[in-house]
């Protein structure tokens, strides 16, 4: 099991990196796209379906 990223809250229950306490266990988190202009325009590129 990977370490959790303290301070990173994740609601995506079907992500491979989601733990039972709504934390992310990915080693690296990539958020994009580079041209996003607001919070709603961003996405987690690290998502991997469970």
- Between CA 17 and CA 44 the distance in angstroms is 11
Residues of the chain short of pLDDT 50, as ranges, are: none
Domain with 2 in it: 1-50
What pLDDT, on a 0 to 100 scale, did the predictor assign at position 35? 95
Phi, psi (rounded to 5 degrees) for 41: -90, 0
| pLDDT for the residue numbered 41 | 96
Number of domain units in the chain: 1
Query: What pLDDT score does 5 carry?
Result: 82
pLDDT value at residue 48: 96
Count the neighbouring beta carbons within 10 Å of the beta carbon of residue 28.
Answer: 6
Question: 3-state DSSP call for residue 41?
Answer: helix
Q: Where are the beta strands (DSSP E) in 1-50?
A: 31-32, 43-44
pTM, two decimal places: 0.79
Is residue 46 within 8 Å of residue 30, measured between CB atoms?
yes
């Amino acid at each position: 099991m990977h370490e959790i990223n303290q301070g990173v809250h994740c609601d995506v229950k079907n992500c491979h990196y989601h733990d039972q306490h709504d934390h992310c266990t990915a080693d690296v988190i990539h958020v994009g796209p580079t041209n996003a202009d607001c919070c709603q325009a961003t996405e987690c590129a690290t998502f991997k379906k469970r």
